[in-house]
């Protein structure tokens, strides 16, 4: 069977739900992106139509890999058997020639699968591969809050906080070196489901935020952890993460997950101290077109 690529979310869900839900922790991002597209529409992450794909062995059988793209963001790839990852560049090129998919600016997802796709695409096109970010997925094993907690308290953000959240999301995007998926619409979606929490000082000043995704397959993911520079180093981010983690557990989440940038030992150390343990590694890779003269290397 090999890879099937197209633009039908319902067909993708029908084929991949069993595969994605069987390893819901590892596939959390794919599940939440698909859920957001279902709830908010095909333009939830951009004006170009999304791309969906799945892989089955040549002899048929169950889906064993999945890919999803929400342009302008690069394709997001699940863990995949080596033969599936190796076959995806040719399948993508064929779909590109048929006008079904855009030219990928890179790839992200489970580290081994993403690197295999990137290597194959580079051989096919002559593009160089540049590492954007190496990240690690963590799951909450046992919440261990910092004691004593910093001064202040957590508060779920509401509509009156929208401008603050927009500013902080843009600053956060600058810090991580790229746009946040969904842009400003992601803030409105978060406000609609109580998905952003502020840590406020006793005088009412917000000094940090943390968010959670909508529950999917019993799991929520902690996102958008941010503290403005002038308030860093005082434990506010840890307090905000503790608050949203505890709230997710209290609401019945089976799993609380997050991703951390491996280049930031401060955040990875914080999450470990709060009770998060590693699950798997992921990577974000960018393609530098041949002849561009840009420095690259994986």
Confidence (pLDDT) at 183: 74
Domain annotation covers residue 297:
no
Query: 232: Cβ–Cβ under 8 A, 6 or more apart, which residues?
Result: none
**What are the strands of the beta sheet with 76-77, ordered from one edge?**
2-6, 51-56, 65-69, 76-77, 106-110, 276-288, 128-140, 255-261, 219-226, 206-212, 196-200, 153-156
Say if pTM beats, i.e. exceeds, 0.75: yes
Residue 151 sits in the same domain as residue 127: no
- Domain co-membership, 167 together with 264: yes
Write the CATH number for 196.
3.40.630.30
Asked whether residue 147 is domain-assigned, the answer is yes
Give pLDDT tens digits along the chain (298 positions). Answer: 799 999 999 999 999 999 999 999 999 999 999 999 999 999 999 899 999 999 999 867 899 999 999 999 999 999 999 999 999 999 999 999 999 999 999 999 999 999 999 999 999 999 999 999 999 999 999 999 998 999 999 999 999 999 999 999 999 988 877 666 667 888 999 999 999 999 999 999 999 999 999 999 999 999 999 999 999 999 999 999 999 999 999 999 999 999 999 999 999 999 999 999 999 999 999 999 876 655 445 4
Q: Is residue 244 part of a domain?
A: yes
Query: Do 185 and 115 have their domain in common?
Result: no
Q: 69 φ, ψ to 5°? A: -130, 135
The first and second tokens of residue 124, run together, are 């096919």
Residue 290, pLDDT score: 78
d(CA 146, CA 162): 28
Is 131 part of a structural domain of the chain?
yes
At 185 the pLDDT is 86
Whether residues 42 and 118 fall in one domain: yes
Quick check: 142 and 242 in contact, CB under 8 A? no
- Asked if the structure places residue 294 within a domain, the reply is no
Query: Does any domain span residue 159?
Result: yes
Which structural domain range is residue 245 located in? 142-274
146/255 same-domain check: yes
Q: What is the pLDDT of residue 293?
A: 54
Q: Count how many domains the chain has.
A: 2
Angle at CA of residue 23, ends 19 and 28, nearest 5°: 100
């Amino acid at each position: 069977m090999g890879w099937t690529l197209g633009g039908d979310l319902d067909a993708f869900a029908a084929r991949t739900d069993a595969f994605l839900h069987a390893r819901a922790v590892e596939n959390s991002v794919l599940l939440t992106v698909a859920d957001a597209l279902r709830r908010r529409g095909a333009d939830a992450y951009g004006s170009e139509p999304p791309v969906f794909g799945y892989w089955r062995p040549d002899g048929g059988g169950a889906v064993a890999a999945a890919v999803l793209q929400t342009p302008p963001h690069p394709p997001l790839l699940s863990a995949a058997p080596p033969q599936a990852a190796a076959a995806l560049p040719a399948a993508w090129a064929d779909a590109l020639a048929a006008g079904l998919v855009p030219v990928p600016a890179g790839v992200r997802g489970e580290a081994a699968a993403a690197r295999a796709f990137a290597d194959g695409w580079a051989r096919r096109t002559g593009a160089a591969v540049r590492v954007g970010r190496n990240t690690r997925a963590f799951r909450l094993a046992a919440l261990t809050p910092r004691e004593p907690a910093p001064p202040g308290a957590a508060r779920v953000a509401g509509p009156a906080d929208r401008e603050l959240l927009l500013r902080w999301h843009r600053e956060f995007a600058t810090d991580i070196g790229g746009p946040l998926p969904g842009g400003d619409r992601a803030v409105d979606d978060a406000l609609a489901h109580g998905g952003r929490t502020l840590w406020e000082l006793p005088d009412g000043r917000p000094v940090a935020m943390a968010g959670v995704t909508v529950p999917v397959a019993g799991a929520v993911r902690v996102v958008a952890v941010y503290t403005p520079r002038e308030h860093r180093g005082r434990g506010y981010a840890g307090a905000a993460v503790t608050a949203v983690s505890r709230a997710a557990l209290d609401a019945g989440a089976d799993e609380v997950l997050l991703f951390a940038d491996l280049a930031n030992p401060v955040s990875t150390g914080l999450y470990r101290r709060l009770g998060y343990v590693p699950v798997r590694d992921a990577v974000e890779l960018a393609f530098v077109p041949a002849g561009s003269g840009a420095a690259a290397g994986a």
